[in-house]
Structure 1
Amino acid sequence: MTTTGVRAHARIVARPDGRGGTALPVLDGEGPLALRRTRAVDGEAKVMVVGAMSGPLGGDRLALSASVAAGARLHVGSAAATIALPGQTKDEARYDVRLDVADDAELHWLPEQLISAHGSDLHVTTRAELAAGARLVLREEQVLGRAGEEPGRLTGRLTVRVAGRTVLDQELACGPGAPDGWDGPAVLAGHRAVGQLVVVRPEFATHPAEPRMLDECAALIPLAGPAALVSAVAPDALRLRRLLDESLARLSSRT
């Protein structure tokens, strides 16, 4: 920790264990990013991110990377929601996530919600690099403010690349200081929870998902290449999670 915030980088590496399961030769957490392995199921390794400290706070610089080798299967979740809080400085906090998934590897990246508390300023980037035969389920959920409070400033960028080709690159800024219109009818329309679900499967290259409205506040959008995006807004975190879970179940039923 420095006078301007915490610096921490956590790393996960998953590889086949040679017995039909997945080993974790690297499971290295530090600072507020503690990593815990949980019980494996059907050859899939499971890791929970456990917040060991409050935050991220203003001035913090956090990074989390996960690499999944060919033949490995990894599921990453978090023990609780992440709450962005104001710090002792007015500096922006950053949280950078990097995901690498090889051919014939699978990653489920399903953290709990990110809550933007009043007075906070957080910039989150998530970048996923996938080989042509990789599989990915990635969920992001942002909640603007705790109960009864105005949100802080939250900027999130999500980039997904498959075989070196960008299939998704989007950025959303909300809260004080964000571009005008972030809460207008074309963006959040007064809702306080927003989420994305990205599903990448090789079979989508030949049988893409069909675009459709899943709810008046959720849409399924096929992406270039073997990928699909569900984008949703909701009045609260519970409704948002329900929308994304129902969307994932619908996409899974196509296989």
Structure 2
Amino acid sequence: MEMSSQTRNSTPLPPSCKLSPVCRTHGVSLSSTKVPQVSEVRVQLEMHALWQQFDQLSTEMIVTKAGRRMFPTFQVKISGMDPSSEYVLVMDFIPVDDKRYRYAFHSSSWLVAGRADVAAPSRMHFHPDSPARGAQWMKQTVSFDTLKLTNNLLDDNGHMILNSMHRYQPRFHVVYVDPAPDSHLNANRNFCSFFFPETQFMAVTAYQNHRITQLKIASNPFAKGFRTTDTQDWLVVTYNSSPE
């Protein structure tokens, strides 16, 4: 179900969602001030083992002018929603720190190269099925496979704008669509935010660590055409994470 601009305008994301503390992550409740429709929501990261493999190598995600999809794709399983209530699901990306980085090939490590560039415009990515009832969200894996990353500051396609050579933390927000006419009075209580540290990544225009390239090719079904028995070829391949 496509989410129209009229629907989005009628169910705005609370402004404080961008700065909110995490409500629950890895099943640990950190807040008891939320409405019942979100207070028991739990989120489980899918492909957790794969995310950990990438995290051990310092995950890199390609950003392009046209926009590039993430791999691994951010996917979650949700429980604890009110089946009959409607929810909007949203993602955003926040800088991990105020640093800009460079990759040192001789030591295969990331080094601080200076202060962060001017922050890119902050955006939210609404899951295209939003809004939907809790029963629908909970019956299957929720995938943000249409989300794309770009370094084009003038992007008008709704892609997430990130600075290359900066580290980011994806965040996931569950927003209860409160039908009450005075719902704005409970805006701070109608959403819950989640993050998973193992999904942090460095935004890059080209992969820096060849082991990241190898792991992406080995684990991404869209990259099977690049696979070869000669691992040396992996170091120079131009990698496409998924169809544009």
- Give the TM-score of the pair, scaled to structure 1: 0.24
Relative to its length, the structure with more strand (as a share) is 1
The structure with higher relative contact order (CA 8 Å, sep 6+) is 2
Larger radius of gyration: 2
Relative to its length, the structure with more helix (as a share) is 2
